[in-house]
């Protein structure tokens, strides 16, 4: 299974690398910004349309 951990947008927490933030760049006609939401490292990413494979 592909998980958030393998995604470029996943940033693990220092105190608990099993949890982290999904940080994505959002663009709308007037501005561009980052949006973060809490996720787990082993959350299923196979149905996520924003998944991007992390380069090793």
- State phi, psi for 43 to the nearest 5 degrees: -65, 145
Which one, 1 or 45, has the nearer CB to ligand SF4?
45
d(CA 35, CA 23): 6
d(CA 38, CA 56): 23
CB of 49 to ligand SF4, least distance (A): 8
CB of 18 to ligand SF4, least distance (A): 13
The residue ranges that bind ligand SF4 (CB under 6 A) are 4, 7, 9-10, 22, 39, 43, 45, 48, 50-51
């Amino acid at each position: 299974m592909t998980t958030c951990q393998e995604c470029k947008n996943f940033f693990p927490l220092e105190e608990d690398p099993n949890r982290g933030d999904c940080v994505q760049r959002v663009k709308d006609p007037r501005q561009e910004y980052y949006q973060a939401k809490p996720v787990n490292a082993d959350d299923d990413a196979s149905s996520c349309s924003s998944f991007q494979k992390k380069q090793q």
